[in-house]
């Protein structure tokens, strides 16, 4: 599979769109999308430019590099932070904590008691890390975490065409955002959900993704884990003496 084929397939999957939805979005046929993704054909220059402009990408990058998830999301930590020993912590919200977080109204007293994840680069604005659930993941390995920033209502339109976490009432929805008169349209896995603007309470714009193979632990959790391992070692030592 050539690079443009890989990039288009990954881009479509990341945006949660079926081949039909992706084709409609670009005003082409589903058969064309299938041919591009399988490497049986390549998009013409005008279509490549349209894709690059639509998703804020570089034509050169689409053609010459296999892009990462974070690059598709427009999120590239500066290289200068790679060798920096300083880390920056942001609150980490687990799936089972979403409802309580919604009811708290994002109060600081609530987020202060959350676990955290450490980043090698400074967060943008009021940032949090959200654990993603099945159907919100780019792939199913490990734990997918969305790094997102909270937008004020006056800046909600800045999130159009972005992946977002939206709180309406006490529920949360995840997907790519668009706008239609008095409603927002959230698209995920080729399905569209209408969300009245009057019901929208918070909007978090995704900035990037990280992937964990072990869940973040609180200090208490880490101590319990250490104690458990010490007991296992002690048991093995006792067994060896017998």
Q: 173-210, pLDDT tens digit by residue?
A: 888 888 887 788 888 777 888 888 888 888 998 888 77
For range 43-72, the mean pLDDT: 84
Give per-residue pLDDT as tens, 90-128.
Answer: 888 888 888 888 888 767 778 888 888 777 677 777 788
DSSP assignment, residue 195? E
3-state secondary structure labels for all residues of 59-105: HHHHHHCCCCHHHHCCCCCCHHHCCCCCCEEEEEECHHHHHHHHHHC
Backbone angles phi, psi at 138, to 5 degrees: -80, -35
Of 111, 115, 89, which Cα lies nearest the Cα of 100? 111
168 versus 152: the higher-pLDDT residue is: 152
Place of tokens 């089972």: 96
DSSP, res 138: S
Task: Give the contacts of 88 (CB within 8 A, at least 6 positions apart).
Answer: 118, 119, 120, 121, 122, 123
Mean pLDDT of the chain: 77
The pTM for the full model equals: 0.57
What distance in Å separates the CA atoms of residue 187 and residue 175, rounded to the nearest whole number? 5
Domains of the chain: 3-67 (1.10.260.40), 79-212 (2.10.109.10)
The model's pLDDT over 19-37, given as tens digits with 9 standing for 90+, comes to 888 898 899 999 999 999 9
pLDDT of residue 214: 52
Indicate whether 8 pLDDT > 50: yes
């Amino acid at each position: 599979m050539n690079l443009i084929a890989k990039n288009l397939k990954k881009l479509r999957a990341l945006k949660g769109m079926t081949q039909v939805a992706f084709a409609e979005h670009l005003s082409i046929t589903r058969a064309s999308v299938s041919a591009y993704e399988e490497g049986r054909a390549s998009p013409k220059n005008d279509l490549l430019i349209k894709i690059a402009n639509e998703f804020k990408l570089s034509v050169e990058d689409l053609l010459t590099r296999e892009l990462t998830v974070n690059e598709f999301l427009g999120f590239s930590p500066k290289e200068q932070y790679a060798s920096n020993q300083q880390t920056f912590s942001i609150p980490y919200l687990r799936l089972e904590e979403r409802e309580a977080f919604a009811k708290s109204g994002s109060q600081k007293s609530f987020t202060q008691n959350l676990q955290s994840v450490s980043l090698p680069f400074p967060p943008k604005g009021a940032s949090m890390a959200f654990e993603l659930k099945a159907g919100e993941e780019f792939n199913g390995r490990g734990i997918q975490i969305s790094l997102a920033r909270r937008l004020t209502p006056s800046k909600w339109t800045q999130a159009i065409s972005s992946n977002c976490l939206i709180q309406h009432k006490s529920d949360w929805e995840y997907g790519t955002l668009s706008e239609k008169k008095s409603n927002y349209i959230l698209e995920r896995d080729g399905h569209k959900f209408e969300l009245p603007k009057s019901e929208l309470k918070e909007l978090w714009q995704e900035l990037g993704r990280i992937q964990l193979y072990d869940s973040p632990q609180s200090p208490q959790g880490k101590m319990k884990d250490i104690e458990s391992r010490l007991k296992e070692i002690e048991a093995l030592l006792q067994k060896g003496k017998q």
